[in-house]
Amino acid sequence: MKKNKVWRPFFQFYTRFRIPWHFYVLAALLGMVSAELVIKVSEITIQVNSGELTNSVIIAYALFSVISAVVMALQAVFTDYGAKTVTMRSQSMLWRRILHLPQKNIDKERPSELISCVTNDVEQASSALSMIFLAASSIYAFARACAVFIQYNGTIAFYMLAAAPVAVLVFFLVGRLEYKSLQKRYEALNVMTAWFSEHLAASKYVKVQGLEEQEVKMGQEAIESRYRADIYYVFASQFQVILNSLYTNLSTVILAFGGSSLIRKGQLEANGINASSAYVGNINRYMAELLTDYQVVKGTQGSLRHVNALLDLEAERLDGGEDLSGGARELRFENVTFGYDEENLILKDVSFTIPQNKKTAIIGGNGSGKSTVLKLLQGFYAPNDGTISIGGVPLDEFSMRFVRGQFVYVLQNTPLFSGTIRDNITYGVKGEISQDEVIAAAKQAEIHEFVLTLPQGYDTLVSEMGTNLSGGQRQRIAIARALITKPRYLILDEATASLDYQTANQIMRLVQKRSETVIYISHDMEEVGRADYVIVMNGGRVEACGTLEEVGEKSPTYCSFVEMQTAGVQMAGVPKKEAAV
Give the domain CATH number at 488. 3.40.50.300
* Residue 581, domain member (yes or no): no
Q: Indicate whether 268 and 390 sit together in one domain.
A: no
Domain boundary, last residue among 276, 311, 346: 311
Q: Per-residue pLDDT tens for 8-64?
A: 888 888 889 899 888 888 988 888 888 888 888 877 877 777 777 777 878 888 888
Q: State how far the Cα of 564 lies from the Cα of 523, in Å rounded to an integer.
A: 11
Please give the pLDDT value at position 575.
41
Please give the pLDDT value at position 332.
93
> Angle CA(338)–CA(342)–CA(346) in degrees, nearest 5?
35
Number of domains in the chain: 2
Q: Indicate whether 336 and 452 sit together in one domain.
A: yes
Domain encompassing residue 497: 331-566
> Angle CA(11)–CA(12)–CA(13) in degrees, nearest 5?
90
Q: Indicate whether 164 and 215 sit together in one domain.
A: yes
* Cβ atoms 407, 445 nearer than 8 A: no
* Residue 316, domain member (yes or no): no
Q: Indicate whether 84 and 13 sit together in one domain.
A: yes
Q: Indicate whether 486 and 417 sit together in one domain.
A: yes
Q: State how far the Cα of 160 lies from the Cα of 164, in Å rounded to an integer.
A: 8
Position 411 pLDDT exceeds 50: yes
* Residue 576, domain member (yes or no): no
Q: Indicate whether 31 and 83 sit together in one domain.
A: yes
Q: Indicate whether 307 and 174 sit together in one domain.
A: yes
Q: Indicate whether 297 and 360 sit together in one domain.
A: no
Q: Indicate whether 284 and 356 sit together in one domain.
A: no
Question: What CATH number does residue 184 fall under?
Answer: 1.20.1560.10
* Cβ atoms 329, 535 nearer than 8 A: no
Q: Where is pLDDT greater, at 73 or 291?
A: 73
Q: Indicate whether 265 and 361 sit together in one domain.
A: no
* Residue 325, domain member (yes or no): no
Position 127 pLDDT exceeds 60: yes
Interhelix angle 123-152/55-99, nearest 10 degrees = 150
Q: State how far the Cα of 392 lies from the Cα of 395, in Å rounded to an integer.
A: 9
* Residue 317, domain member (yes or no): no
Mean pLDDT, residues 158-167 = 75
* Cβ atoms 386, 349 nearer than 8 A: yes
Please give the pLDDT value at position 572.
37
Closest CA to 540 of 383, 385, 387, 364: 364
Please give the pLDDT value at position 502.
76
* Residue 572, domain member (yes or no): no
The lowest-confidence range among 200-204, 434-438, 454-458, 542-546 is 200-204
* Residue 575, domain member (yes or no): no
Please give the pLDDT value at position 327.
60
Closest CA to 8 of 308, 249, 267: 308
Q: Indicate whether 419 and 371 sit together in one domain.
A: yes
Q: Is 529 exposed, middle or buried (0-12, 13-18, 19+ CB in 10 A)?
A: middle
Domain boundary, last residue among 278, 311, 344: 311
Long-range contacts for 243-247 (Cβ within 8 Å, ≥24 apart)?
Answer: 243/169, 243/170, 243/173, 243/174, 244/170, 244/174, 244/288, 244/291, 246/166, 246/170, 247/163, 247/166, 247/167, 247/170, 247/287
Domain boundary, last residue among 249, 280, 311: 311
Split at pLDDT 50, 70, 90, the class of 530 is: confident
Q: How far is CA 100 from CA 95, 107, 111, in A?
A: 9, 13, 13
Q: Where is pLDDT greater, at 50 or 383?
A: 383
Distance of CA 203 to the CA centre of its chain: 23
Q: Indicate whether 302 and 346 sit together in one domain.
A: no
